[in-house]
Structure 1
Amino acid sequence: MASFDIVNKIDVQEVDNAINNTLKEINTRYDFRGLHTEVEFHKKENRIHLVAAESMKLEAVKDMLIKNFIKRNISPKVLDFKEPQGTSQGHLKMDVQLKEGIDKETAKKITKEIKGLKLKVQPQIQDDQVRVTGKKIDELQAVIKHLKAKDMGVPLQFVNLK
């Protein structure tokens, strides 16, 4: 029996590199000179904390972050931007949660999509991943091709093809 796993993993080092590139870009941009701007990465909580002087600067930091994630081959779909809030100094802050793993609803959506293909494969939800098993590797590759064409709301990686 051949199988593969569908996962959503984030390379923490690449996220760190993207954030460092964003900070470098903020330091070199003329329109950010003299303004309070922060970008902090909390690895333990998979969270990025943004602080900017005004809403336009916060949007610019957000755009820079997305651009640097794309440059680093990290899908911007992993970024879950929360609502901006005011701080006591009159700045705006925003938390960005990094989505890692496949939640239950998305996993059910993936298994429904696979079963809809009418191939002889069996999808199984295992914690935050989906394992697909089948007798023929060609059928498994057809599932991968089909899922790559679909938008599931999270970036999917296909690993452990055996």
Structure 2
Amino acid sequence: MPSFDTKLDPNLESVGNAVDTTSKEIGTRFDFKGSSANVEQKERELTLLADSDFQLGQVKDVLINKMSKRKVDVRFLDEGKVEKIGGDKVKQVVKIKAGIEAELAKRITKLIKDSKIKVNASIQGEEVRIQGTKRDDLQAAQALIRKEIDDVPLDFGNYRD
């Protein structure tokens, strides 16, 4: 039975490269000279550090620019609150989304069931598997998911015949 998996999977290598180039640019830019502006990555979490809210915004802009050049969708980023860490210094934790959350998985399966396309959707951990008898139905389901769910960058993979 033909099937495919719908998943949310960022390219962490490209994210790491974007963080590295962001750190290099921050180190060479004149407006960041003598400041504590920095970007750190730990697994699926980025920490942005700066001397002020304005500077934090600039660090974030540089990071987003570098990520878009590396074709990393910025919808993977889940920005946390800006926290004061002493004096005027601020920090922000940005998490990288990976794996479909239960709420989004339920939304996808409900969308497929309500569409009357002859396919089945089932939640497989952090992925949603779509199965059908015809490839055309699977392609229609994929087009429907792309059209209706645009708040996260979903990937489709693990095609089987």
From the two aligned structures, give the one with the greater strand fraction: 2
1:57 is matched with which residue?
55
Query: How far did residue 89 of structure 1 move?
Result: 4.3
2:2 is matched with which residue?
2
Runs of 4+ with deviation above 6 angstroms: none
1:113 is matched with which residue?
111
1:78 is matched with which residue?
76
Distance in 1 of aligned mates of 2:52 and 2:120: 51
Bigger Cα displacement from structure 2, 27-36 vs 49-58: 27-36
Query: How far did residue 26 of structure 1 move?
Result: 1.3
Whether contact under 8 Å (1:110, 1:152) holds in the other structure is no
Q: Cα deviation per residue 1:91-147 (whole Å; 9 max; x = unaligned)?
A: 001111111100000001111111222111000011110000000011101111121
Percent sequence identity over aligned pairs: 38
Q: 1:110 to 1:11 in 2, by over 3 A?
A: same
Query: Could you tell me which of 151, 154, 157 is aligned with 1:153?
Result: 151
1:126 is matched with which residue?
124
Q: Tell me, what secondary structure is at the counterpart of 1:161?
A: strand
Distance in 2 of aligned mates of 1:73 and 1:151: 20
Name structure 1 gaps, 5 residues minimum: none
Whether contact under 8 Å (1:6, 1:156) holds in the other structure is yes
Q: Cα deviation per residue 1:25-44 (whole Å; 9 max; x = unaligned)?
A: 2123221111111110001x
Aligned length: 160
Query: How far did residue 149 of structure 1 move?
Result: 2.0
Distance in 1 of aligned mates of 2:137 and 2:128: 16
Q: Tell me, what secondary structure is at the counterpart of 2:81?
A: coil
Whether contact under 8 Å (1:75, 1:155) holds in the other structure is yes
| CA RMSD, 1 decimal | 1.2
Name structure 2 gaps, 5 residues minimum: none
Q: Tell me, what secondary structure is at the counterpart of 1:124?
A: strand
1:144 is matched with which residue?
142
Q: Counterpart amino acid of 1:32?
A: F
Query: What is the TM-score of this pair, normalised by structure 2?
Result: 0.94
Q: Do structure 1's residue 42 and structure 2's residue 34 form an aligned pair?
A: no
Q: Counterpart amino acid of 1:78?
A: F
